[in-house]
Amino acid sequence: MTADQMSEVLRNIARLLELKGENTFKVRAYNTGAEIVENFPGDIVSKAAANELEGIKGLGDALQQKLHELATTGKLEFYDKLKAEFPEGIMELFDVQGLGPKKIVALHQQLGVGSIADLKRVCENGAAAKLPGFGEKTAQKLLEGIAFRQSHAHEFRQDQVAPIVAQMLAMLKEHPDVSRAEVAGSYRRAKETVHDLDFLVAAKTPAAVMNEFVGMPGVKQVLGHGETKSSVLLESGVQCDLRAVKNDEFAAALVYFTGSKEHNIVLRQRALERGWSLNEYGFTLSEGVAPSIKKQRGQAASDTLNEEADVYRFLDLDFIEPELRENTGEVAAAESGTLPKLVELSNLRGCFHNHTTASDGKATLREMAEAAHELGWQYLGIADHSQSSVIANGLDEKRLRAQIKEIRQLNEEFADKGLRLFAGSEVDILKDGSLDFDDGLLGELDYVVASVHNIFTLSEAEQTKRIIRAMENPHVTMLGHVTGRLLLERPAYAVNIPAIIKAAAETGTIIEINANPWRLDLDWRWWKVAVEKGVKCSINPDAHSTRGLQDVYYGVRIARKGWLTKRDVVNCLPLVKMEEALRTKRERR
């Protein structure tokens, strides 16, 4: 049981209690509990197991006991009983875009809807539209939401699979028969979503490893169980494939199973041109190569391949980082020695898009500053929501001015520690492209992140014009989550990205990679174009808690996938250079 799993159970209880019509205090207690567990700065699972939760603010006796039961038994009787009162598919409904608890209650109580399939039926047959507060338009929107979800069924975001990967690698590496273990496939290539997880081990006698793999806790179904190849479906719905090879085949196998397919095809073609055939076990001489050459070169080259770099060297290529293996020019660049030196997590010196308790964050300004210092950063930008974002408790002018003052004061204290706080704002871009604060106030800030948070349904031309107008404001330092997408949940709104990139270059506006694993926006596929035009990137976690700061990890992976170097990413700059960079656009006119 992990902290995330415990938190999910509490959140699900809150949802089910809400469906039952329980009072809001009780519902809120579970939601608060879920947040506390999720953001707890320590090992809350061990604490719960040891019955040491007393004194944690917001966790009452009842919740403490439930967490103890979960941590020690992996189960919760109260939750199981509660779930049994509802149809099995009820929780799926919470994942449909545009469907909140109130609507789910209405659908459940009045139309007996208990799954996505039921929901689809009542939206199609007109029954949903007749419910109070629904209407034709809502039913249509729900159908679109269902269709989007179904088109991404069996996909998972990075944050959903990262903990599984860590656990699985730990388990495999610990096995006495395993000499090497790696994750391969789309996860290793840092795709924003993956279909399944692929693991590779080097093992002399793989049978015991395969047995342990198919028998591990959390396996719901064994899809395949062979001597060198097995496949399981986990309770979480994630499929994991495991391959075992001999140690001297490991390097070639890792290249093969990391993919992508398209990258592999180019490598294999290159091998053929050199008289070798390449498969998952290594290079062997192609059929038809003259026996004299065979004798001279030896039958197989596999035993000379110890690491992936050896495989690439064999093909006269520089080593290609896994993130780049999508056949978008990486092989040509590896041949000519022009691959970029990709940005690394340790290059970051700070970041800019972060929220505090002043708007919808969970940590105070001071807590966020301390966490940034703990991460070894030189600076942290605070960008709480602006007044139009009412649901997110956006700051009005008065509260923002007060926050600026607070930040300036805190800076005096943190100067000794070597951390600088920048006063910013995540300012809403209004419908016409104007901003939520006037230029006077924006000018008092150290920087501004401008974002679209509503009216996603404008035409592409209008949405593009709206965003470009915002970028034309000299106070707008950077553009937040450019397309508004939520991976697997909500598609990007219609917007002309090349036009946005062009305007960013012309106005000197930085574009963010929103590193929240739900967003990873701007998408990695656009960054080569952006960098060619001279656009700079800021890797921003959009943190709503101290733990959220660590989402920069996902952002760095996506930046690497977009071929970005440390020079392309502004928040790799040391403090003094960063201060200059924040002023550049404003001083252009």
Contacted by 451, from Ca ion, ligand DGT, Zn ion, none: CB < 5 to 8 Å by type: Zn ion
Bridge partners of 351, per DSSP, are 380
φ/ψ region of 259 (left if φ > 0, alpha if ψ in -120 to 50, else beta) reads left
Bridge partners of 278, per DSSP, are 283
- 198 versus 523: smaller Cβ distance to Ca ion: 198
- 247 versus 260: smaller Cβ distance to ligand DGT: 260
When asked if residue 538 is in the footprint of Zn ion (CB under 5 A), the reply is no
When asked if residue 540 is in the footprint of Zn ion (CB under 5 A), the reply is no
What is the Cα 415 distance to its own chain's centre? Answer: 32
292, 311 in Cβ contact below 8 A? no
Sole binder of ligand DGT in the list 33, 114, 145, 185 (CB under 6 A): 185
- 185 versus 350: smaller Cβ distance to Ca ion: 185
Peptide bond before residue 522 is cis, with ω within 30 degrees of 0:
yes
The span of 85-93, 184-192, 286-294, 444-452 binding ligand DGT (CB under 6 A) equals 184-192
φ/ψ region of 87 (left if φ > 0, alpha if ψ in -120 to 50, else beta) reads beta
What is the Cα 324 distance to its own chain's centre? Answer: 18
- What is the per-residue binding string for ligand DGT in 390-409, x denoting contact by CB under 6 A? --------------------
- 185 versus 206: smaller Cβ distance to Ca ion: 185
In the complex, the smallest distance separating the C-beta of residue 184 from ligand DGT, rounded to whole angstroms, is: 6
Sole binder of Ca ion in the list 33, 185, 350, 517 (CB under 5 A): 185
The span of 74-82, 200-208, 341-349, 450-458 binding Zn ion (CB under 5 A) equals 450-458
Provide φ and ψ at 486, rounded to 5°. Answer: -120, 115
543, 551 in Cβ contact below 8 A? yes
Contacted by 265, from ligand DGT, Zn ion, Ca ion, none: CB < 5 to 8 Å by type: ligand DGT
In the complex, the smallest distance separating the C-beta of residue 305 from Ca ion, rounded to whole angstroms, is: 23
- 64 versus 451: smaller Cβ distance to Zn ion: 451
In the complex, the smallest distance separating the C-beta of residue 266 from Ca ion, rounded to whole angstroms, is: 19
Q: How many residues bind Zn ion (CB under 5 A)?
A: 1
When asked if residue 283 is in the footprint of ligand DGT (CB under 6 A), the reply is no
- What is the per-residue binding string for ligand DGT in 240-269, x denoting contact by CB under 6 A? ----------------xx-xxx--xx----
Nearest of 147, 135, 138, 187 to residue 165 by alpha carbon: 187
Nearest of 257, 296, 252, 300 to residue 276 by alpha carbon: 300
The span of 295-303, 375-383, 447-455, 567-575 binding Zn ion (CB under 5 A) equals 447-455
> Per the structure block, which two tokens stand in for 83?
């779930």
- 196 versus 370: smaller Cβ distance to Ca ion: 196
Q: How many residues bind ligand DGT (CB under 6 A)?
A: 14
Contacted by 12, from ligand DGT, Zn ion, Ca ion, none: CB < 5 to 8 Å by type: none
- 186 versus 514: smaller Cβ distance to ligand DGT: 186
> Per the structure block, which two tokens stand in for 389?
């974002």
Sole binder of Zn ion in the list 7, 193, 302, 451 (CB under 5 A): 451
- 228 versus 364: smaller Cβ distance to ligand DGT: 228
The span of 123-131, 448-456, 490-498, 529-537 binding Zn ion (CB under 5 A) equals 448-456
For tokens 């689809």, name the residue: 120
In the complex, the smallest distance separating the C-beta of residue 384 from Ca ion, rounded to whole angstroms, is: 38
Q: Under rule CB under 5 A, which residues in 232-251 are in contact with Ca ion?
A: 241
In the complex, the smallest distance separating the C-beta of residue 453 from Zn ion, rounded to whole angstroms, is: 6
- 261 versus 408: smaller Cβ distance to Ca ion: 261
Residue with smallest beta-carbon separation from ligand DGT = 259
Alpha-carbon distance of 537 to 567, in angstroms, equals 9
Q: What angle do CA 35, 38, 41 make, to 5 degrees?
A: 115
When asked if residue 186 is in the footprint of ligand DGT (CB under 6 A), the reply is yes
* 72: Cβ contacts below 8 Å, ≥ 6 apart: 48, 49
φ/ψ region of 385 (left if φ > 0, alpha if ψ in -120 to 50, else beta) reads beta
> Please, where are the H alpha helices in 227-345?
250-258, 261-273, 291-297, 308-314, 330-335
Measure Cα distances from 438 to 389, 392, 427, 585 in Å: 16, 20, 10, 17
Bridge partners of 510, per DSSP, are 478
Provide φ and ψ at 410, rounded to 5°. Answer: -60, -30
- What is the per-residue binding string for ligand DGT in 187-206, x denoting contact by CB under 6 A? ----x--xxx-x--------
| H or E element, residue 459 | none
In the complex, the smallest distance separating the C-beta of residue 325 from ligand DGT, rounded to whole angstroms, is: 8
- 186 versus 389: smaller Cβ distance to Ca ion: 186
Alpha-carbon distance of 563 to 123, in angstroms, equals 44
When asked if residue 522 is in the footprint of ligand DGT (CB under 6 A), the reply is no
Strand ranges for 436-548 from DSSP E: 449-451, 478-479, 510-514, 537-540
- 198 versus 308: smaller Cβ distance to Ca ion: 198
* 185: Cβ contacts below 8 Å, ≥ 6 apart: 194, 196, 197, 198, 241, 257, 258, 259
Contacted by 257, from ligand DGT, Zn ion, Ca ion, none: CB < 5 to 8 Å by type: ligand DGT
- 186 versus 284: smaller Cβ distance to Ca ion: 186
Q: In the chain, what's the furthest Cα-to-Cα distance? A: 84
C-alpha neighbours within 13 Å on the C-beta side of residue 434: 6
Alpha-carbon distance of 163 to 298, in angstroms, equals 43
When asked if residue 537 is in the footprint of ligand DGT (CB under 6 A), the reply is no
Query: Which residues of the shown chain bind Zn ion in the complex (CB under 5 A)?
Result: 451
Query: Which residues of the shown chain bind Ca ion in the complex (CB under 5 A)?
Result: 185-186, 196, 198, 241
Query: Which residues of the shown chain bind ligand DGT in the complex (CB under 6 A)?
Result: 185-186, 191, 194-196, 198, 256-257, 259-261, 264-265
